């Protein structure tokens, strides 16, 4: 899993997030009049503007010795601002010693391999044992207080049963940078996200783009769906890498058994909607193997697989999840050095075993 290391000789002007305590700022004599929150945001870039507004509202900012609680207060040249930055509050989730597969770590980010079965965020039914709990333990003492709370900055997620690469912010500055990159979806920057998926059948075209709106499925509130209106734009690019189960010339096989059984597909995201790849591949008639939520209508395919390739059927049952793995992740390092970090991860063993078993069909 290669990663580009940061060059230590590059510009290090991007300061790390400040520690708790007073921050004393002298406004330059030639500075123009501007709002207090804007002035602070320019001079303390490691804190978000919303965080600075909150500090002002909490009475933690003075201007020339006078307490100021209005973010819109105009300040003039030569003024003196003091920001009393509190220690980060302890996050509600508790740190837990859960093993993590760390691919890269520095002062700003952690890049890791999320295994299938690990939930990212604590929530209903998953109050503990999540990636956030694991990161709070792993990063103890190195989180600077994102939004004023000691916590890891989650800027993107993977479904519980999807494996693959994730990047997590350790500082407010890194969180802002990464969040902006993911919001831009790589349209103007180096952000890339790509997945390997094993799908039923073979798409009509060997490569293409699926564009729909994705919203909550009106028939199943646990699922998402491609909807005609009221959803959010979703764009997935796909490319067929390999097909499994094409009959050999002259093979004696019933017509009902003919045709490729499955395909290995590479999917890259131009947007990041909930269950996007799973919804889109099902929408074009090729749901992911193992996806009970979006591929329940393909149970007969499993029956066929059991007849013609028992080993592959067993591998699919052992997988016990959707066959989806985030194998590629690239982003600009949030240090401001314009260094592109790029990582690739091999398929986990359970998914690789399925692919190898499917190859025997050929």
DSSP annotation string for 100-136 = -EEEEE-SSEEEEEEPTT--SS-BTTBSSSSHHHHHH
At 6 the pLDDT is 28
Assess contact for 36 and 68: CB atoms under 8 A: yes
Please compute the mean of the pLDDT values over residues 116-125 and round it to a whole number.
Answer: 87
* pLDDT at residue number 19: 64
Residue 2 predicted with pLDDT over 50: no
Q: Which residue has the higher pLDDT, 263 or 218?
A: 263
* Every domain range in the chain assigned CATH 3.10.290.10: 21-85
Contacts of 14 by beta carbon, 8 Å cutoff, 6+ apart? 45, 173, 335, 336, 337
- Using one digit for the tens of pLDDT, what is the confidence trace for 197-212? 999 999 999 999 999 9
Q: Say if CB 202 and CB 286 are below 8 A apart.
A: yes
pLDDT of amino acid 246: 63
Find the radius of gyration of the CA atoms of the chain: 25
For the entire predicted model, the pTM comes to 0.76
Q: For residue 16, is pLDDT > 50?
A: no
Superfamily of domain 89-184: Pseudouridine synthase (3.30.2350.10)
Confidence of residue 17 (pLDDT cuts 50, 70, 90): low
Least confidently predicted of 16-20, 229-233, 242-246, 307-311: 16-20
Other beta carbons less than 10 A from residue 114's beta carbon: 24
Q: How confident is the model at residue 18 (pLDDT cuts 50, 70, 90)?
A: low
Decide which of 3.30.70.1140, 1.25.40.20, 3.20.20.370, 3.10.290.10 is the CATH code for 21-85: 3.10.290.10
Of 329, 303, 330, nearest in space to 317 by CA: 303
Residue 258 clears pLDDT 80, i.e. is over it: no
Report the top-level CATH class of 193-359. Answer: alpha beta
Q: Give the Cβ contact number of residue 157 at 10 Å.
A: 15
Q: Give the pLDDT band (50/70/90) at residue 15.
A: very low
Categorize the per-residue pLDDT at 301 as very low, low, confident or very high, splitting at 50, 70 and 90. Answer: confident
* Residue 259 predicted with pLDDT over 80: no
Residue 336 has pLDDT above 90, yes or no: no
Parallel, antiparallel, or unpaired: how do β-strands 149-150 and 89-90 relate? parallel
The CA distance from 280 to 242, in Å, is 19
pLDDT single digits (tens) 64-111: 989 999 999 998 888 899 999 887 776 688 999 999 999 999 999 999
pLDDT at site 230: 86
Top-confidence residue, 127 or 162: 162
**Catalytic status, residue 159:** yes
Average pLDDT, the chain: 87
- Which of 159, 161, 291, 350 is catalytic? The answer is 159
Q: Is the pLDDT of residue 28 over 50?
A: yes
* pLDDT at residue 7, as a whole number: 31
Determine the Cα angle at 336 with ends 331 and 338, to 5°: 55
| Start and end residues for every CATH 3.30.2350.10 domain found in the chain | 89-184, 193-359
Taking the C-alpha atoms of residue 44 and residue 39, their distance in angstroms, rounded to an integer, is: 9
DSSP 171: S
User: What pLDDT, on a 0 to 100 scale, did the predictor assign at position 20?
Assistant: 73
pLDDT band at 251 (very low <50, low <70, confident <90, very high): very low
Please give the average per-residue pLDDT across 225-253, as a whole number. Answer: 82
102 vs 14, higher pLDDT: 102
Could you tell me what percent of the chain has a pLDDT over 70? 90
> Mean pLDDT, to the nearest integer, of 14-39?
78
pLDDT at 299: 78
What is the pLDDT at residue 236? 97
Q: Residue range 254-273: average pLDDT?
A: 81
Identify the DSSP state of 246.
P
């Amino acid at each position: 899993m290669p990663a580009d290391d940061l060059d230590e000789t590059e510009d290090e002007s991007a300061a790390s997030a400040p520690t708790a305590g007073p921050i004393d700022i002298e406004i330059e004599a030639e500075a123009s009049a501007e709002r207090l929150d804007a002035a602070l945001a320019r001079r303390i870039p490691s804190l978000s503007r919303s965080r600075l507004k909150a500090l002002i509202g909490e009475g933690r900012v003075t201007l020339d010795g006078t307490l100021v609680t209005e973010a819109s207060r105009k300040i003039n040249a030569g003024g003196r601002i003091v920001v009393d930055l509190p220690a980060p509050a302890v996050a509600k989730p508790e740190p837990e010693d859960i093993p993590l597969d760390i691919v890269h770590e520095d002062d700003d980010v952690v890049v890791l391999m999320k295994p299938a079965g690990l939930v990212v965020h604590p929530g209903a039914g998953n109050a503990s044992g999540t990636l956030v709990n694991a990161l709070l333990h792993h990063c103890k003492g190195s989180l600077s207080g994102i939004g004023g709370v000691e916590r890891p900055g989650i800027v993107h997620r993977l479904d519980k049963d999807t494996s693959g690469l994730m990047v997590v912010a350790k500082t407010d500055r890194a969180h802002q940078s990464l969040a902006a990159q993911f919001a831009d979806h790589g349209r103007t920057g180096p952000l890339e996200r790509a997945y390997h998926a094993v799908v039923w059948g073979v798409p009509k075209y060997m490569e293409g783009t699926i564009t729909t709106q994705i919203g909550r499925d009106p028939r199943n509130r646990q699922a998402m769906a491609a909807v005609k209106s009221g959803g959010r734009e979703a764009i997935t690019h796909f490319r067929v890498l390999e097909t499994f189960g094409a009959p050999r010339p002259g093979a004696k096989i019933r017509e009902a058994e003919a045709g490729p059984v499955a395909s290995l597909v590479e999917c890259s995201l131009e947007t990041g909607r909930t269950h996007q790849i799973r919804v889109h591949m099902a929408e074009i008639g090729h749901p992911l193997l193992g996806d009970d939520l979006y591929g329940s209508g393909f149970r007969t395919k499993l029956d066929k697989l059991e007849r013609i390739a028992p080993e592959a059927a067993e591998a699919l049952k052992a997988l016990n999840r959707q066959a989806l793995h985030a194998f590629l992740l690239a982003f600009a390092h949030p240090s401001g050095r314009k260094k592109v970090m790029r990582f690739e991860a091999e398929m986990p063993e359970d998914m690789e075993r399925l692919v190898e078993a499917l190859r025997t069909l050929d």
